[in-house]
């Protein structure tokens, strides 16, 4: 070891005095995919402010209690006058196996207890093997394997070997000619985090009494931390949007290992009398309440106070006002109240509460000239969309992160769930169209009128199309017909004009209550 390394003082940084945790969702999770709380594949940027007192000259600063999923190569330390010379991370945590390996060739105390009398006898012994097999000690009586004598044995170590810690440690080497006390900030990426948005939409009345209706919209952020470390009183931020991630953070994290002591020997007992018959373990304790609904752990980030009846659980509610910020092409949501991101835990934070969102139901079907409409054939159910616009006028006007939505509707027996759907990221001002289950009340039969009049390859022939639309609802409905992909077809509808929506030429037709409507048009390919 170089002389300067031997003379380098070891300094322990203080516990964090300020914490910030910014969670990025799994970049490979698509719309409709649920977050895997048992194996989260998102990551977080963690920023810790600590205090260090450095002697003059070279020193090693130890940051104890960093995230076990820390990506060490991403770590940056600011606030040091001498900067960073070298970075290191412990590869092994304090554990029975690490104690044995660290004591190899050194003396420990072994205590044996006589099962018959209860008398304990201790003696000094030297560790002669590592902990990856049978443990062999050398004492005054010679060499022996631990736990092979058939009596209880306990090992006592004089101290913790150098470099071992009960928690993950990140260390850096630095140099300062004068020394002093400094406030430094350690910032790093860590693997094993994720988050998702979950929306609850409650209709104020049954849709159908008018084309437009109002609903309440509540959204929860569900956050998961798979690391063994908690981040107490932290400023919490989440990032919505898709990042282009090239690095494999899972392999770069390489968390430190806490290895058990494995002894390949006889169990308690001996070969003559046999081993004791194992006793069945006691039943497990009852499962704790879900973290997201634990007493005192429910946080609502919203601009207005929520009524208890609007919550799914009766836990107390802290009301806050969320701050949405722009971060390049991404959206940043800042939780104004500091929270604890618990180890191996799931937390739910309510961040959106809109009471008068205006929406409507729109029916949808696609008609292809490659299909013949059999006049005697069956009708198919139309698709259904929940449609609104992300504007202040419609009661929204906020960026909506990707997530799942559950819809509830009032009825004679109270609020009942009627549908579930998924939504992608929506910015302010965008049209929001969410797919719902197919309708049982609106049915469609559409296709070309003549069975043998398929579109030709050169696009010279017009094909006559027909759609018969049935509405069994006691109110009017609007149905959107997708007539063909824009740019690929020339379309001539009867009595109306088409417009382009999501890459399709469409028309929207109103159908009166309990009635049928016929719609016709002509179509030909644009390959001429």
| Residue 251 host element (H or E) | helix 249-253
Mean pLDDT lowest among 149-163, 164-178, 371-385: 149-163
The answer, yes or no, to whether residue 6 has pLDDT greater than 70, is: no
Alpha helix (H) residue ranges in 473-526? none
Burial environment of residue 195 by CB neighbours within 10 A (0 to 12, 13 to 18, 19 or more): buried
Q: Position of tokens 């693997």?
A: 191
Q: Two tokens at 362?
A: 């729109």
Q: Position of tokens 């988050």?
A: 195
Backbone angles phi, psi at 362, to 5 degrees: -125, 135
pLDDT at 179: 87
Contact 448, 368 (CB under 8 A): no
Indicate the pLDDT class of residue 495, thresholds 50, 70 and 90.
confident
Backbone angles phi, psi at 218, to 5 degrees: -120, 135
3-class SS at 430?
A: coil
Indicate the pLDDT class of residue 374, thresholds 50, 70 and 90.
confident
What's CA 89's distance to the chain center, in Å? 26
Q: Give the mean model confidence (pLDDT) for residues 209-235.
A: 89
Maximum average pLDDT range among 134-138, 409-413, 458-462, 503-507:
503-507
**CATH 2.60.120 describes domain 360-397+430-525:** no
pLDDT tens-place string over residues 174-188? 988 888 999 999 999
Q: Position of tokens 């991101």?
A: 341
pLDDT at 307: 42
Burial environment of residue 333 by CB neighbours within 10 A (0 to 12, 13 to 18, 19 or more): buried
Indicate the pLDDT class of residue 286, thresholds 50, 70 and 90.
low
Q: Give the mean model confidence (pLDDT) for residues 262-287.
A: 53
C-alpha span between 25 and 45 (Å, rounded)? 12
C-alpha span between 220 and 198 (Å, rounded)? 5
Q: Two tokens at 148?
A: 């092979």
Q: In what order do the strands lie in the sheet with 107-113?
A: 142-145, 136-139, 120-127, 107-113, 153-156
C-alpha span between 346 and 475 (Å, rounded)? 44
CA distances from 152 to 99, 124, 267, 294 (A): 19, 16, 10, 42
Maximum average pLDDT range among 125-129, 172-176, 285-289, 310-314:
172-176
Contact 101, 261 (CB under 8 A): no
pLDDT at 267: 53
C-alpha span between 403 and 160 (Å, rounded)? 48
pLDDT tens-place string over residues 39-79? 999 999 999 999 999 999 999 999 999 999 999 889 999 99
Mean pLDDT lowest among 150-159, 241-250, 406-415, 489-498: 241-250
C-alpha span between 139 and 125 (Å, rounded)? 4
Contact 294, 313 (CB under 8 A): no
C-alpha span between 192 and 21 (Å, rounded)? 13
The mean predicted confidence, pLDDT, of the chain is 82
The model's pTM is 0.75
Among residues 383, 390, 411, which one has the least CA distance to residue 479?
Answer: 383
Domain borders along the chain are 3-90+165-194+229-243, 96-156, 291-353, 360-397+430-525
What's CA 235's distance to the chain center, in Å? 18
3-class SS at 97?
A: helix
pLDDT at 293: 36
Q: Two tokens at 202?
A: 């409650």
pLDDT at 370: 86
The answer, yes or no, to whether residue 270 has pLDDT greater than 50, is: no
C-alpha span between 357 and 354 (Å, rounded)? 6
Cβ count near 46 (within 10 Å): 27
C-alpha span between 177 and 54 (Å, rounded)? 10
Mean pLDDT lowest among 86-100, 475-489, 512-526: 86-100
CA angle 79, 327, 21 (to 5 degrees): 50
C-alpha span between 337 and 347 (Å, rounded)? 14
User: What DSSP designation does 373 have?
Assistant: -
pLDDT at 433: 94
CA angle 111, 161, 155 (to 5 degrees): 10
N residues, the chain: 528
**What share of the chain in percent tops pLDDT 70?**
83
C-alpha span between 137 and 152 (Å, rounded)? 15
């Amino acid at each position: 070891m170089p002389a300067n390394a031997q003379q380098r003082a070891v300094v322990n940084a203080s516990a964090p005095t300020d914490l910030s945790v910014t969670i990025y969702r799994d970049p490979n999770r698509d719309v409709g995919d649920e977050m895997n709380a048992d194996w989260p594949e998102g990551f977080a940027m963690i920023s810790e402010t600590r205090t260090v007192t450095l002697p003059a000259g070279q020193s090693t600063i130890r940051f104890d209690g960093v995230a076990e999923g820390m990506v060490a190569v991403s770590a940056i330390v600011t606030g040091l006058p001498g900067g960073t010379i070298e970075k290191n991370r412990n590869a092994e945590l304090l554990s029975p196996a690490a104690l044995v390996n660290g004591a190899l060739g050194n003396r420990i105390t072994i205590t044996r207890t006589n099962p018959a009398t209860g008398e304990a006898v201790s003696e000094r012994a030297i560790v002669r093997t590592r902990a990856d097999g049978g443990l062999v000690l050398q004492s005054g009586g010679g060499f022996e394997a631990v736990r092979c004598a058939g009596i209880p044995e306990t090992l006592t170590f004089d101290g913790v070997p150098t470099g071992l810690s009960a928690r993950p440690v990140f260390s850096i080497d630095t140099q300062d000619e004068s020394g002093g006390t400094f406030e430094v900030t350690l910032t790093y990426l860590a693997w094993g985090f994720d988050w998702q948005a979950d929306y609850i939409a409650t209709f104020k009345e049954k849709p159908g009494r008018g084309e437009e209706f109002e609903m309440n919209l509540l959204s929860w952020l569900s956050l998961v931390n798979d690391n063994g470390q908690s981040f107490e009183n932290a400023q919490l931020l989440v990032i919505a949007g898709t990042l282009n991630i090239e690095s494999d953070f899972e392999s770069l994290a390489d968390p430190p290992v806490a290895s058990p002591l494995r002894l390949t020997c006889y169990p308690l007992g001996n070969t003559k009398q046999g081993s004791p018959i194992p006793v069945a373990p006691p039943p497990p304790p009852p499962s704790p309440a879900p973290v997201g609904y634990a007493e005192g752990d429910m946080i609502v980030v919203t601009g207005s106070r929520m009524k208890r009846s609007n919550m799914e659980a009766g836990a107390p509610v802290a009301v806050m006002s969320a701050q949405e910020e722009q971060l390049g092409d991404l959206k940043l949501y800042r939780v104004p109240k500091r929270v604890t991101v618990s180890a191996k835990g799931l937390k739910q934070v309510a961040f959106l509460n809109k009471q008068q969102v205006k929406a409507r139901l729109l029916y949808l079907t696609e008609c292809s000239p490659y299909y013949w409409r059999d006049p005697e054939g069956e009708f198919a159910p139309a698709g259904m969309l929940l449609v609104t616009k992300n504007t202040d006028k419609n009661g929204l006007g906020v960026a909506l992160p990707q997530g799942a939505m559950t819809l509830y509707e009032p009825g004679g027996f109270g609020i009942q769930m009627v549908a579930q759907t998924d939504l992608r990221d929506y910015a302010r001002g965008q049209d929001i169209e969410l797919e719902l289950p197919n309708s049982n009340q609106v049915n469609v039969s559409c296709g070309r009128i003549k069975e043998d009049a398929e579109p030709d390859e050169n696009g010279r022939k017009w094909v006559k199309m027909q759609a018969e639309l049935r509405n069994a609802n006691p109110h009017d409905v609007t149905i959107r017909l997708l007539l063909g992909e824009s740019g690929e077809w020339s379309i001539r509808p009867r009595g109306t004009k088409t417009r382009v929506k999501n890459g399709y030429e469409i028309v929207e037709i109103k159908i009166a209550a309990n009635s049928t409507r016929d719609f016709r048009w002509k179509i030909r390919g644009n390959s001429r």
